[in-house]
Amino acid sequence: MDALTSPGGLAVVGVVLALLVGLLVLSRRGGGTAARDALVKRGRYGEAARMAADAGDFAVAFDLYLRAQEPENAAAIAVKRGDLRQAAELYERAANWERAVHFYQRAGMGPKADDLRAAHLAPAAAPRTRGGSDPPRSRAHELEARYRQAASAGATTDAAKVELQRQARDAADALLAEGELARAAEIYADAGLEDEAVHLYVNVLGQPGRAAPLVARRGNHQRAAELYELAGELERAAVAWVDVAKGSPRPDSFLERIGELSPKVALGYVEQELGGRPLSKATAEWHYQRAKLTAAGGDAARAQEYFEQLQAIVGPYRDVEERLRGLALPAPAPAPRAKTMQGPGSNLDPTQIELLASQVAEAAAQQLKRRVELSALPEAGASPSHVVRTEIRVIGLEQAPLVAGLLDDSAVLAARHGVGLDALKRFTGGRPCDLGNIEVYYRLGLYYLAHGNYDDALAAFDAVEDTSPAYRDAWKRAEEIRAWKKALGKVTRLAESDASPGRERYQLRGELGRGGMAVVYRAYDTALERDVALKFLSEELSTQPGIRELFQREARAVAALNHPNIVTVHDTGYLQGRAFLCMEFIEGQSVEALMTKGPGLTIIECVRIAKQVLDALAYAHGKQIIHRDIKPANMMRTEEGLVKLMDFGLAKSLAEGKKQSVIAGTPAYMPPEQLAGGDIDHRCDLFSVAVSLYEMLTGRLPFEGFERMTAPPPVSELVPAVPAPLDEAITRGLAYRAGDRWATAAEMNARLKPVLDAVDQMVAEKAAAASKRLASAKTEIVR
């Protein structure tokens, strides 16, 4: 043991760990390269190209796409690299005339763009002027005008509504191709295509306040409230939280949050709920909140009266005594406002910003088109193209391990982000499963499976099997669900405490993920009637001396964090002899998953994700809490576009345990002082954000192993389209010395702001121009 704690021993351990990490990285990369090479030998260039693109090897992917005769995919990579002329030539080769003209124009080759337009787009783009003063109308604006005209006539039948939505999609897709994102979002929202509109408003346009009413319209008031918070519309957020409280078995648990956002809204809600109810122990919290909010509103005399009544009837309650003493003191002078940091010049190239806007539009179109529609359902008998076999093994909770291949395969993944439950139920026609709606019932089973509702999934697949035995793989899926339920055994229902086995608080509904220290389940909280995530620590950690007190103390501190970009902790304790955290359940995907699927993330999406993470860190650092394990896997983007930071404070709460090297963070994202086991502060989180952003943009990590002294290549060398402020934010965030990094999360965020502002301004200008053209089109229709 002395040898290990000596400087020489530590050096040897460091070298061994570095070698192990290096071998792991090489083995992973080598495996991927070998599989890709095998595909190339068999002439399957397209598959190999997609594998290379997923791995971030864009140069290799580009060459392979050309060999596969897929010029459009190669053009997309050329756009990502900032080579607009090459992108235009490839789009021309693919006969995608609109995109070719678009990028020739952007590359400064106007005559070439005009020649192509005249030769191939003349019918759609021919000038139609009145008096020679109006610009020509593009195909997108023609489609938009047709949709608006059809919408004004109304749709009275289901068939007419489907046709109207098809026209809306066509118009919105065409507008996306021309970079008019705001107009596309408006059409999606107007046509009732809310998922597409929310995606554009939150993830692409950075306008969460515009998405919030759409989310609320679907009944998800909590997500709407968080979106309003993210947009800075605090009073509207407070009103949305009131809607959440009204639908909760414990409405008083939301009063603190509502009061922080808008004391006026909170006080109105409290007084409405109290009505004439007398003060008692049952209503003590409501009366306490009324007194506190009255004091915040400046009516000290009435607040004092309320607090004194509470103290006289209920007795000592929370901090009433301290508040009464505080009301007797003169109010403190307001704290000086912090000066807004004025960053250096933005150094933004207009061509780069226009390219970013084009990237956003192209990626948005691809992402929206990937959504599963009933009209695109595979034919009966089709089977999933790829099956992920997962070994599910939980020591201490499950009675036996099992291998489940159809609980989380590609078909389930598609259902997770495909057609909604309401639409599927509508397409059943309200009938039990029969040969006319059997495919819809099969899809219902996939939907329930994707969302962890195993009982309903089993019922749907059994109905399919009863209607038509051996229909697709319904019987296999039902069999695996039964095996899962049997493996869980009696512990699918967990008692509220070890001493109260009859009070079953949580019902397990499926596994969400696992790591070296814990496993996370989806569960249902029967007391508060909501879905939650239960995170169980390993048995070894749960039984370590002192870990119970340390874990619960830190969990209480993290539970006090109240921010829309931080996952909420509801409860902590012990179940089945295991330490656990009960957290908010998030419908969405990790940023790590978003990086590796489909076309990946655009530059602007990466910046918007980083902004939300930095907002969360600025809040947490202000509460003296450091995350210490920032990485894409711990960033979750909800279906509504909110980014939530996961595992907040957990690593810190366990850092004093015996397995510090395992649970104190992830080495690839750690700054040098954290790797060395030295003192750290909030700047270690900012280093990890910079590493994550570097990886999101380039598809590779900036450092190999534990080496941190040598600065990595600037992101702009690998992705030329990255603008200077973003490049600077990452480079400074990766500085070896903590003192050379950004001082605060807010300061780092301020450096990203010019990029978002410039793109938002360009989008606003295009939206204004589109509105003007639409007004002209309406005038022409009237004429």
Please list the active-site residues.
Answer: 629
- Integer Cα distance of 63 and 60 in angstroms: 5
Which among 674, 679, 689 is positioned nearest to 746, based on CA atoms? 689
Q: Give ∠ CA 427-429-432 in degrees, rounded to 5.
A: 110
| 3-state SS class at 516 | coil
Which among 240, 244, 238 is positioned nearest to 261, based on CA atoms? 238
Which among 245, 241, 250 is positioned nearest to 528, based on CA atoms? 250
Which among 231, 262, 353 is positioned nearest to 615, based on CA atoms? 231
- Integer Cα distance of 1 and 615 in angstroms: 43
Structure tokens at 617: 């860190």
- Integer angstrom CA distances of residue 545 from 52, 337, 658: 48, 46, 10
| 3-state SS class at 47 | helix
- Integer Cα distance of 497 and 495 in angstroms: 5
Q: Give ∠ CA 187-190-195 in degrees, rounded to 5.
A: 80
Q: Which residues 6+ apart lie within 8 Å of 459 measured at CB?
A: none
Q: Is the dihedral of CA 36, 39, 43, 48 positive or negative?
A: negative
| 3-state SS class at 404 | strand
Write the DSSP symbol of residue 253: G
- Integer Cα distance of 227 and 217 in angstroms: 13
Q: Which residues 6+ apart lie within 8 Å of 45 measured at CB?
A: 39, 64, 65, 67, 68
DSSP string, 356-383: HHHHHHHHHHHHHHTS--GGGPPPTT--
